[in-house]
Structure 1
């Protein structure tokens, strides 16, 4: 059998999977058809001496350790925002004081919200514009009857609090069946983890319409072009309109109340393992009232 040649970037991806520890060397050997001894050798090699793509994933390194106080503020802001998407920094500051006893000014709340990648959801005047080099597509879902799997997908990003840091979670969901097609985590808002989730999803199927907001990740050609090449149309929410992508907003609330807030993950590894188990449960075991108490996987695969 001819030996498969792996690029440095492909090796980096595999080494990161080894370091994450979600699957054993034997399991990864089977998946990638690589001798376990080779994988162990890659693991032992000094990552610092390999190509830049072999650098440790940002998931394992944060240059500045956040303070316990800042983490507590962010965790409280996340709970308040998840419950009340329309709360801006002024109302969140008031809620932090009344519900949590925190004395924090509005500008500090705005700073935390910016780091968390969140903003209040309500109609408002245009306060920012997308990158002028990026195309903004029209919203295509208004009045649409969504009645089959892969007719519409949606994607977004949310904040996941940890004991000593935080992560960002991106998810692609099938609108009709509520099936989570793919997801990924990262400790920064760099576009790479969004592209990885998109790649995973498009290896499974392709949507007729990909719906997303106008954030810089989702107006980037790096994100859009793979979907256009797969024959998908792009739909973009109006800025500040949560209900344009309501399926994702409901998913965030479900994930956080049923898993994240209950589990209180200590580390990125624990969050990856825990969320992987939760999404398996969500797709294959959780009954959804909106689906007539069917499970997303059963509806998505038309079982």
Structure 2
């Protein structure tokens, strides 16, 4: 459902922009917001994004007290303990905070890469350009997180990972699956947003060690990773909202079937002349 997609990205993009991109009304979104997901959970996800955004905006100089004051002044009521808990869970500390050691592992804006892809979503061959992202999925009474890697040549999902926490390990596991399945060469462009997981030094080093060129969307610009946003939208409309999974095991099984059996092998894609990603790659390999 489009409204859920909007709720997941509050704090990253304006509601007006997301409603316009997804062709829904703001009034409809607010009506949905009044029922839908429990208020406490929606607030938690929104606050996590706001805390990380404020932390990055002030280049890691603000700790929990200043971030709390900043958010309250902006009209987002929160307590110091609440913000401190979020920061602890996300593993972020102020540069001048107790226990902070400035190193290559510090999650600051220093690891932001240029937008090498620059919305050129075409590719002349497999493993030339990949894009990756994370989405939230509501299951029973909690969020789970899905990281995926797409090859822009065929729009095939070549790697993915599902977990109950949104960490560097989540995105690295998805990328590890992709590398294990594909034969890559130096120069592969890997595009993502500016999330802290994608700027973590371990993840950056992992991609560089595999010969990749990192590319990142501009801040707050959803169009810079449009193919992945489109995939997540289809996944949720065609699977998640239709099934309404009641357990994490059910969700994992369903997502596996959707990606590996339906989307990659059966679902026709307009970018592939109406062929599924696997069929498109197989036909191109025969013609080569």
Q: Indicate whether the TM-score tops 0.5.
A: yes
- Let me know the Cα RMSD of the aligned residues: 3.6
1:172–1:180 Cα contact (<8 Å) kept? yes
**Equivalence for 2:133:** 156
Rounded Cα–Cα distance in structure 2 between residues aligned with 1:275 and 1:103? 22
1:230 correspondence with 2:206? no
Change over 3 Å in CA distance of 1:143–1:169 after alignment to 2: closer
1:258 to 238, 241, 244: 238
Q: 1:298 Cα shift?
A: 2.2
Give 1:164-183 correspondences, 5 Å limit: 164-183=141-160
Q: Secondary structure at the match of 1:160?
A: strand
Q: What TM-score does the superposition give when structure 2 sets the normalisation length? A: 0.66
* Greater radius of gyration (CA): 1
Structure 1 distance, partners of 2:281, 2:227, is 15
Q: Report the Cα offset of residue 192 of structure 1.
A: 1.6
- 1:253–1:103: structure 2 CA closer, same or farther, 3 Å change rule? closer
Partner Cα separation in structure 1 for residue 234 and residue 50 of structure 2: 17
The alpha carbon displacement at 1:290 in A equals 2.3
Are residues 1:87 and 2:15 paired?
A: yes
Deviations 1:159-187 (A, max 9, x none): 11112222111100111211000111111
* TM-score of the aligned structures, taking structure 1 as reference length: 0.63
Q: SS state of the match for residue 204, structure 2?
A: helix
- The whole-number CA distance in structure 1 between the counterparts of 2:166 and 2:240 is 19
Residue 118 of structure 2, aligned match among 128, 131, 142 = 142
Residue number in structure 2 paired with 1:268: 248
* Residues 113 and 100 (structure 1), Cα distance of their counterparts in 2 relative to 1, 3 Å cut: closer
CA-to-aligned-CA distance 1:255-280 (integer Å, 9 cap, x gap)? 00011110111111101111100012
Please report how far the alpha carbon of residue 107 of structure 1 lies from its aligned counterpart in structure 2 after TM superposition. 10
Q: How does 1:1-303 map to 2 (within 5 A)?
A: 78-81=4-7, 86-87=14-15, 95=28, 97-99=30-32, 101-102=34-35, 110-115=43-48, 127=57, 129=59, 131-132=107-108, 134-142=110-118, 144=120, 145-205=122-182, 206=184, 208-280=188-260, 281-301=262-282, 302-303=284-285
User: Structure 1 residues 100 and 243 mapped into 2: Cα distance closer, same or farther (>3 Å)?
Assistant: closer
Give structure 1 stretches of 5+ with no counterpart: 1-74, 120-125
Distance 1:81 1:272, change over 3 A: same
Instruction: Give 1:103 deviation, angstroms.
Output: 11
Partner in structure 1 of residue 87 of structure 2: none
Aligned pairs, how many?
A: 221
| Distance 1:288-1:218 versus aligned 2 partners, 3 A rule | same
